[in-house]
Structure 1
Amino acid sequence: MDSGPRADIKTLIVDPETFIQELSDEKVRLLLMELEMLMEEYERENTIMYLASNYSSNKHLAFSALRAMHDYEIKEFQEITKKKLLEEIKRRKEAKKSAL
């Protein structure tokens, strides 16, 4: 992924870690499933709309920032987001096991 100001802007605008922990288990799994489907059949505009709508509190700004990105940057962001969703699912499973 980029370094410098451009990477900082992407992280500030679209950052799944800021809200994933607040979501229900079902919603996290649903986001993962939807993201994987978008990754399989990448279509730039649909992906931008989805990411801006689901991974940012400032949807208009996120939409504009994502539109300015190259496809490879958007795909990298999808991979990072998928990894974070999987980590959250794993963390929750481990927390449930340790609570028993």
Structure 2
Amino acid sequence: MKISEQGQLLRILIGETDKHEGKPLYEWIVIKAREQGLAGATVLRGVMGFGANSRIHTTKILRLSEDLPIVIEIVDTHEKLKHFLETIDNVITEGLATLEKADIQFYRGSK
């Protein structure tokens, strides 16, 4: 797959316990991204953070949270990511999504 040098980075921030159709929301988002043929997706688990409700979520032992921050990053073209956002927008009830420019240096898979 070839993508242009001028891409976009979609970053979605949600909670680890967020669900859709009985499965973790981050899993559902990654599967949808693959179904739509996006270039790739990565899920990162945060060690600390807070969102719109200002509640701190952390891995510290005395304040162990069961709802750690999850960051999903997807890089592709602006058009494909905008279409993808339309697909997932009504499913994410709590969280944040950002789009930013990404200068793609290379995109390679195994042969």
TM-score in terms of structure 1 length: 0.30
TM-score in terms of structure 2 length: 0.28
Q: Indicate the structure with greater strand content.
A: 2
Larger radius of gyration: 2
